[in-house]
């Protein structure tokens, strides 16, 4: 259900919840997004995730996630990874491609509440749907339309701007509308995970959402040159692995 103009009762923010959209609800989610989002909804490509915020069965907001942008200078500089690390680990970054508060649900602080709930469950939802976690979320904010207040209030950080290019039919084309780049780590030490020489336990692909504090089964292949490995010392004991699996 969506709220109607006659539903004027303030929504108790503490009672708002976020969940995955069921298979039967995807068409409804897509239709609402296409009708009410200023960019419309041409569809997602690649790995994707649909979430809905609701209160007492009423739909309040829609959140859509996709695979991360292949190249983003500001994000890549913030992470500090090499091109090879990006190629192999980009799947551990998710892009918040759509965020919509439905027209009759607007009220103060609802956006940051919904975005915070959606982000906190993103890693588990991605694991459940795609069989591997994500450790970092990204999004692009159009400064001509928005100030990014909701994202900042939900503990996202602006790390730079795009150059005004967009990917279209396999090539990058200049559209002249730079966006702010914002990121939100989903695990403590997200940048260390994405730039480490070896894959740690969180980055191992698994069938379920299990983040045990155990000694990692290190990948057999480093993803940077051996000459660089001195910059990434191995932990001395199992106790040092705790930070590798601690979430916010």
Give the pLDDT of residue 175.
64
Q: pTM above 0.85?
A: no
Question: Can you list the alpha helix ranges (DSSP code H) found in the chain?
Answer: 26-36, 73-79, 83-89, 110-130, 149-153, 190-195
Q: What letter would DSSP give residue 231?
A: G
Give the pLDDT of residue 122.
98
Question: Is the CB of residue 104 less than 8 Å from the CB of residue 76?
Answer: no
Instruction: List average pLDDT for each run of 10 residues in the chain, which is 248 residues long.
Output: 59 97 96 93 91 97 96 96 96 96 94 97 96 96 91 96 68 73 96 90 61 30 41 38 40
Question: Is the CB of residue 106 less than 8 Å from the CB of residue 5?
Answer: no
Across the chain, the runs of DSSP E, i.e. the strands, are: 17-20, 48-55, 58-67, 93-101, 136-141, 157-161, 165-168, 171-174, 180-185
CATH topology of domain 13-188: Aminopeptidase (3.40.630)
């Amino acid at each position: 259900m969506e709220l109607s103009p006659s539903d004027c009762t303030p929504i108790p923010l503490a009672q708002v919840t976020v969940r995955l959209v069921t298979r039967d609800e995807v068409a409804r989610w897509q239709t609402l997004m296409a009708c009410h989002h200023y960019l419309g909804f041409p569809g997602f490509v690649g790995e994707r995730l649909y979430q809905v915020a609701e209160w007492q069965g009423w739909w309040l907001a829609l959140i859509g996630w996709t695979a991360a942008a292949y190249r983003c200078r500001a994000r890549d500089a913030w992470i500090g990874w090499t091109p090879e690390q990006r190629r192999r680990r980009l799947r551990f970054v998710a892009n918040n491609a759509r965020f919509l508060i439905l027209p009759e649900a607007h009220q103060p602080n609802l956006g940051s509440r919904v975005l915070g709930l959606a982000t906190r469950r993103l890693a588990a939802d991605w694991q459940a749907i795609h069989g591997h976690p994500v450790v970092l979320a990204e999004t692009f904010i159009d400064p001509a339309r928005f100030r990014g207040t909701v994202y900042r209030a939900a503990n996202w950080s602006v790390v730079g701007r795009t150059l005004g290019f967009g990917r279209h039919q396999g090539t990058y084309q200049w559209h002249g509308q730079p966006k702010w780049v914002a990121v939100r780590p989903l695990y403590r030490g997200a940048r260390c995970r994405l730039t480490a020489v070896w894959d740690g336990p969180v980055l191992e692909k698994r069938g379920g959402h299990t983040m045990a504090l155990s000694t990692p089964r290190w990948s057999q292949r480093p993803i940077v040159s051996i000459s660089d490995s001195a910059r990434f010392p191995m932990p001395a004991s199992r106790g040092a692995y705790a930070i590798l699996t601690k979430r916010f």
